[in-house]
Structure 1
Amino acid sequence: MSTELHDSRGTDQNDEPLILVTSDSHVGPRVIEDLRPYCDSKHLSAFDEWAAGLGDGLTQHYANWPQKMQEAIRWNLQSDGHFDIHARLRDMNADGIAGEVIFHGSQNTQPVPFDQYNMFGTGAQSPDDAQLAAVGRHIYNRWLADFCSVEPERHVGLAQVPMWDIEASIKEVEWAAEAGLGGVNFPKPDSTGIAPLNDPAFEDFYAACAASDMPLTSHTSASFPGNRYADVPGMAFIEGAWWCERTIRILTFSGVFERHPNLRLVITETPGDWFGAYVTDSDSILGFGGDTWMREHDGWDLPRTPSSYIASNVWIGASFHSRSEAESAIADGHADRMMWGTDYPHMEGTWCYPEEGAPQMTHAALWSTYAGLPISDVRGMVGLNAITCYRRLDLDALRNVATRISAPRPSEILAQEPKGTKEPRNRAVSAAFRTVGAWS
C-alpha cells in the first residue's frame, strides 16, 4: 500500500487531478428489497414481523422539517445511489469523487433492522430485544460489505456493532475487517446501556479495533443523549456536536491512545471553528496550579501532552467544510487533521441531484471553501488526509481512479467559480456555503 503522500503533494505545479475523498457519505438500504435477503432463516419470521410494524415514524420525522428542506430531500431521492452501488458510482464519478467513507442514514427513511431509530450508529439498541438488535446490525454489515465490494478501493464502509455487548462487538469488528469494511460507526459517550468509554471492559475492544485498522468514527447526529432538552429550540444543533467532541478528551485523558497507539478516532460533522481552541484548552489544564493540579490531584501520569495524542490519533470529518473552518485549520496548524466531506446524499451537503444548466454543486462548494488557499493544504483536506487515516484506502489506487473519472484539477474549479445558467436547486439549504459561524 502506497503512503508516499508528500511526493504527491510535491507535484502541485503539474495541476494533477484532485484526489477527492469524502469523509462523510450515507447509505439507506431498503428494508425489504435490500436487507431481507441478508437475514438468516432463523430470524426471518421476526424480521418480517418487525418490518410489517415499521409504520411511518421516520417518514413523519421528515414531514416535520421545513418545507424547503423536505423539497430538497425529495429532489435528492431521485438518485438510487441511496441503496444501489452502480447509481452511487455514477453520482461519485460526476462529482469527481474518488473515495468515500460510508455511514448509514441517507434521508430515505430506511432503518437498521430491528432498530427503527438507529440512523447513525447511536450504539444503544432501541428495541427491548438486544439480541435481535445485534442480529440487525450484522444483517446491515453483510449488505454493506457486498455493497463496498464493487470497486472496493473506493469505499470505507463503517460497521455497526452492538456496543452494549463488548465481546460481541469485538467479534463483529473482526468479522467486518475480514469482510472488507474499513471502520466502526462509534457511538457517543453515555449512550443508554453502554459502559463509559474509559471502562476497563473496553480495553480489548480498543485493542481489536487498533489491530484490525478499524478507526472509531462518530457522527454528530448520533450525539445528543436521550432526547434530553429536545424541546429547547436550537439545542440539538448548537450543542449536539459537543457530546461527540467529548470523545476526544475521554480517550486522550484516560490514556486509551497511550495504551493503543494505533487506534484512530474520527469525529464527523461537527461544524464551526472549534478544533484549534479545543486542542489548546486540552493542553492548558496541565499548567493549572503551577503544573500541580493534574499531576498531584487528578493523577495525570501520561508521558505526552493531549495535543500530541490528538495530532497522532484524531481526525475531524469536516462535512461541508466552510471557508472560515479551512482557514482556521491552516492558521492553527491543524490542516492535516481535517477531512472534507460531501455528506452525500443529504440535502444539506454538497451534492445535489443534477439539473441541466446548473453546475456541480460539489465543485461550487470546493471553490467557495478552498479557492486561493495553499494547494498542498487543500489536497490534504480534500482527500490525502483521509487516505492517511483510513488505511483501507490506497493512494496509488485512488490516484488512478481520479484520473479515470476525470476528477477536477485545481485550475478547473479553484481558479474561478464554477457557474451555469442557474444555481443548483438545493444550494439555499446546503451547509457548504456558510459564512457565519457553524450553521449559516
Structure 2
Amino acid sequence: MTSSVQRRLISVDSHVVEPKDLWLERLPKKFLHQAPQVESRENGDFFVVPNTGMGPKPVGTEGAMINTKINGVITSATGYRFEDQRPGAYDPAARLIDQDSQGIDAEVIYPGWLIVHSIQDFELKAACVRAYNDWLFDEFCSYNPDRLIGAAALPVGNGPIEPAIAEAQKWADRGAKTFLLPQQVPGKAWGDAHFEPLWAAIEEMGIPVGFHQAAGQVAVFDEKTSPGVFWTVAIGNKISLGWVFMQLVYGAVPQRHPNLKMILVEGGIGWIGFQLTTMDHMFTDHHRWTVPELELKPSEYFWRNFWATFEDDRPGVLTLPVLDHKKLMWAGDYPHTEGNFPFAQEQVAQDFAGVDEDVVRAMTYDNAVELFDLATAKV
C-alpha cells in the first residue's frame, strides 16, 4: 500500500494502556486486595483482577504491537512484557510524536483494560472506573487536551444507576467530550427502565456516549483457552454492536430521547446497510402489532441518533451509496494489534480508493470535529 497524499486525520477510537500501578495507588484501601494490576509470569506479563474469579489477559494484546506489512497486508507481532509496549501507549509526549508521524491531529482515547467493565462486584467496578477517569484526565489527556480527547467511563452493572449519572455530570462539568459504556450489561437490556435516568441525563448534557466492543464481555483469557474460542469472542464482539443498536431501538431509547447521541465503537460499518434494510422490512410488515410501537423506521433512528466507527473496512466503504457518510467516522485504534499504526495514511488510501475526497474528509476528520466539538487546528 502506498499513498502520496498526507491527509489530516482524527481517530475517533484509540486507546491508552494504563500504568500497572494505577489502581494500586488510587483505589480505597478496602479494595486493594482486588486492585487490577500487572502480574509477571514465566510466559509473560498479564493483566489480572485478583480475588474476583476473572481470568488473566495477556499484556501483548493491548499495546505491545509492532505492525509490519506482509504481502501488502498489515500484520502484528506482540511483545509479552509490560515494558515492551510502545511508549506512546502510556506516555502522552510519545503519543503526540506518533500522532504527528501519521498525520493525526487528535484521538478519542478509550481504556486499554476494557475488562474492568466485566468486574461483577459493582462497588469495586465503580471505584475502578472513578480511579481510571481521574488518571486519564488529570495525568494523560491534560498533557494536550486538544489532541488527547478522553472518553469518561461510566460505571453500570448490577448496582444503582446514580453512580454513572454522577460520574457523567462530574466530567461534563470539566469539559469531557464523550462518555464510554460497555457493549453489554449481563442481565439487562439497554432499553430497560433501569437505564432511563441515565439516558435522560446524558441527553440533557448533549454529550455523545459510545458503546465500545469488548467492554463488558465475560473474560475468557487463560492458558487453557482454545484459539477458536478466543477468536469467536473477539470477532463476535464487533458483530454484536448491531445487537446493541437493536436493543436500543427496539427498547425505544432513541424514540424517548430524540436528542441522545450514541456511537457504536469499533464494530465496522459493513453490516449497517444490510441490517437496516432488514429491520426496515420487518418494521413495514409487523409494526402494527409489535411492542413497543415505534414512530419511525429503525433506519430513521439510526441516521438521526447514531454514529459508527471503523478502522479498516473496505467492504463497508463500498456500501456508501446506501449509507449516510456524515454519521460514519474513521479510527486508528492505536496502539492495539488490530490498529493500523504506522500505516494510517496507506490504510486510508486503500480503503477509500475511488471515493470523492469530500466524503473522505468528512469520514476521517470533519464528522469527528462536529460530533465532539473539537478544535480544528493542531496545537
TM-score normalised by structure 2 residue count: 0.80
Name 1:339's counterpart in structure 2: 329
Cα deviation, residue 273, structure 1: 1.9
Matches within 5 A, 1:71-82: 72-74=77-79, 77=84, 79-82=86-89
SS at match of 1:58: strand
RMSD: 3.2
Following superposition of structure 1 onto structure 2, how do residues 352-363 of structure 1 map, counting pairs within 5 Å? Answer: 352=342, 361-363=343-345
- CA 1:382/1:53 → structure 2, altered by over 3 Å: closer, same or farther? closer
Describe the superposition over 1:295-339 as per-residue Cα deviations: whole angstroms up to 9, x where unpaired: 22x2343322111110011111112x23222121x2213322211
- Equivalent residue number for residue 111 of structure 2: 104
**Which residue among 370, 373, 382 is the counterpart of 2:364?**
382
1:424 corresponding residue in structure 2: none
2:182: which partner in 1? 187
From the CA coordinates, give the structure whose radius of gyration is larger. Answer: 1
Determine if contact 1:158/1:181 at 8 Å carries over to the other structure: yes
- In the alignment, what sits opposite 2:209? 216
Q: Deviations along 1:237-256, whole A, 9 cap, x unmatched?
A: 44332333211121112221
> How much has 1:218 moved relative to structure 2?
1.9
CA deviations on 1:223-242 (whole Å, 9 max, x unpaired) are 655659x7555422443323
Q: 2:35: which partner in 1?
A: 50
Structure 1 residue corresponding to 2:266, chosen from 254, 265, 269: 269
Counterpart secondary structure, 1:142:
helix
Q: Which amino acid aligns with 1:62?
A: P
Give a deviation string over 1:103-135, Cα, whole Å, max 9, x none: 111xxxxxxxxxxxxx22663424x4x323211
Matched residue, 1:283: 280
Partners of 2:263 and 2:211 lie apart in 1 by: 6
Deviation at 1:265, TM superposition (A): 1.4
Task: Decide which moves more: 150-159 or 368-377.
Answer: 150-159
Look up the equivalent residue of 1:143 and give its one-letter code: W
Out of 10, 21, 28, the position equivalent to 2:10 is: 21
Find the partner of 1:315 among 301, 307, 314: 307
Is the aligned partner of 1:256 residue 2:246?
Answer: no
Which residue does 2:125 correspond to in 1? 133
Is 2:96 the counterpart of 1:89?
A: yes
TM-score normalised per structure 1: 0.70
- Shift in Å, 1:142: 0.6
User: Which residue of 2 is the match for residue 31 of structure 1?
Assistant: 20
- Taking a change above 3 Å as real, the CA distance of residues 150 and 73 of structure 1, as seen in their structure-2 partners, is same
**CA distance in structure 2 between the aligned counterparts of 1:238 and 1:167, rounded to whole angstroms:** 32
* Structure (1 or 2) with the greater helix fraction: 1
| Closer, same or farther: CA 272–182 of 1 in aligned 2, 3 Å | closer
Q: Match for residue 174 of structure 1?
A: 169
Counterpart in the other structure of 1:432: none
> What corresponds to 2:51 in structure 1?
none
Q: 1:63–1:236: structure 2 CA closer, same or farther, 3 Å change rule? A: same
Asked if 2 retains the 8 angstrom alpha-carbon contact of 1:21 and 1:382, the reply is: yes
**Which residue of the other structure, out of 352, 356, 359, is the alignment partner of 1:370?**
352
Q: Which amino acid aligns with 1:262?
A: N
How far off its partner does 1:54 sit?
4.6
What is the SS of the residue equivalent to 1:185? strand
The one-letter code matched in structure 2 to 1:368 is Q
Alignment of structure 1 residues 352-431 onto 2, 5 Å: 352=342, 361-390=343-372, 393-394=373-374, 397-398=375-376, 400-401=377-378
Residues 303 and 46 (structure 1 numbering): CA distance in 2 closer, same or farther, change over 3 Å? Answer: closer
Count of residue correspondences: 345
Higher strand fraction (1 or 2): 2
Report if the CA contact (8 A) 1:22-1:99 is conserved. yes
Unaligned runs of 5+ in 2: 49-55, 68-74
How many Å apart are 1:277 and its aligned residue? Answer: 0.7
* Whole-angstrom distance in 1 between the partners of 2:143 and 2:349: 30
C-alpha distance in 1 between matches for 2:345 and 2:304:
30
Kindly tell me: are residues 372 and 206 of structure 1, through their superposed partners in 2, closer, same or farther at Cα, counting changes over 3 Å?
A: same
Identity %: 26
Residue type at the aligned position of 1:157: G
Output the CA distance in 2 between the equivalents of 1:362 and 1:206.
Answer: 35
CA pair 35-74 structure 1, distance change in 2 beyond 3 A: same
Q: Is the 8 A contact 2:325 2:359 kept in 1?
A: yes
